[in-house]
Amino acid sequence: MNGRKILLVVGGGIAAYKVPELVRAWTKAGAEVRCVLTEAASSFVSPLVLQSLTQAPVRQSLFDPGEEGQIGHIEVADWAELVVVAPATADLLARMAQGMANDLATTVLLATRAPVLVVPAMNVNMWDHAATQANLETLRERGVLVEGPDSGELACGWEGQGRMSDPEAIAARTSLLLGTRSMHGNRMVVTAGGTREPIDAVRSVTNRSSGKMGYAIAAEAARRGAEVVLISGPTGLATPAGVRRVDVETALEMRTSVLAEFDAARIIVMSAAVADFRPANASDRKIKKEDLADGEGLQLEMVRNPDILAEISARRDQRVVVGFAAESHDVLPAARRKLARKGCDLLVANDISRSDAGFETDENAVILLTPDGDTEELPLLPKTEVASRILDRVEKLCGARE
């Protein structure tokens, strides 16, 4: 956390009394902290206490010439590496979801490009309300991260979900989010999800890839400070914080997007399940069944898609290229052959015959293979952890190529 810049936006809720403890945990760990309070927040926590703990002016007003003269509100938004909203009241979440900028706190939240972590705290019924949940969903879709709330006895006398997470838990989460910066300065392209190849106006050929592995890699790389472009097939997953996402459908679109990002990339991770074949003549109208009798066949001609991984591996120069292999039998020999055929620097092999790993699950058991014959078999791990192990190897490969 040493020297890392955290902007704390404090909402007006009773849980704000825990905020000095949180700030203390951060400053003890060496972080630089600045605080912005909503008007209501200063009724629950003293700005002077926060000013003393952070040794920096506490800002409360958008229109105070004195405050604005010292540090402009956009400057505060740009300064932050991470923005934490704690406590995030129902009102503040609603205003964030609406994109409002009617006070300093919401203006800064709208202007910042840093990842935002919200730590909700409110009465259980306010938390359960459909409006609050819809606002949170909107924020999540935009990449806002959420910590808590916990369940238990609430300050208002009710019991249930709505307690702000403990300062210790928030500090642990933020230290994780700020990450190591070990990939700072590297542009990385990650492909994820399955492609969708149209048959006609309503039907397509696709596969069972959920995209979770690729999204976990993109999230972890961003956490390590890489500039990440995620080229994604249709998935329904939220874009990880700090990641630029490019949506594609077909293998040909994916190839075009990968090639467009290729020159500027240092690392390319092809975790997408790219369809090997596409219907040769996709119809832009719906194919009708009325001309066919029951049991009568419909011929669908398929043609091979370009192999994106092989193509980029062949012209990679100093870039580090990682491929994936989905194998259903003889995993290791098949993966070794695939590595040789594709010509990438690291191959991540999945045994897709396992029901507890691979497609659509949150865990994965993979084997990492390199061209020098090295093989590392990882145990069954959460995909987030697998992502971390893959990136440790990628960092080593980048280091060796410097």
- Which spans of this chain sit near ligand CTP (rule: CB under 6 A)? 251, 270, 272, 274, 276, 305, 307-309, 323-326
Omega before 87 within 30 of 0, i.e. cis: yes
Distance in angstroms (rounded) separating the CA atoms of residues 135 and 119 = 14
Separation of first and last alpha carbons in the chain: 27
Residue in 31, 140, 150, 38 with CA at minimum distance from that of residue 85:
38
Strand spans (E) along 40-144:
82-88, 116-120
Q: Do 267 and 344 touch, CB atoms closer than 8 A?
A: no
Which alpha helices (H) appear in 182-238, and where do they start and end? 212-223
Q: 20 or 214: whose CB is closer to ligand CTP?
A: 214
CA dist 382 and 396 (Å) reads 22
Residues 118, 88 contacting (CB under 8 angstroms)? yes
Report the residue number, 50 or 308, with the smaller CB distance to ligand CTP: 308
Task: Please classify residue 24 by burial: count the beta carbons closer than 10 Å to its beta carbon, then call 0-12 exposed, 13-18 middle and 19+ buried.
Answer: middle
Please say whether the beta carbons of 30 and 1 come within 8 A.
yes
CA distance 177 to 180: 9
Q: How far apart are CA 122 and CA 14, in angstroms?
A: 8
Catalytic residues: 156
Look up residue 164 and give its DSSP letter: P
- Tokens for 341? 């055929």
CA separation for the pair 264, 306 (Å, rounded): 22
Q: Which is nearer to ligand CTP, 193 or 242 (CB)?
A: 193
Minimal distance, residue 50 CB to ligand CTP, in Å: 49
Contacts of 301 (CB under 8 A, 6+ apart): 279, 280, 281
Whole-number minimum distance, CB 317 to ligand CTP, in Å? 18
Token digits of residue 192:
């994820």
Nearest approach, Cβ of residue 325 and ligand CTP (Å) = 4
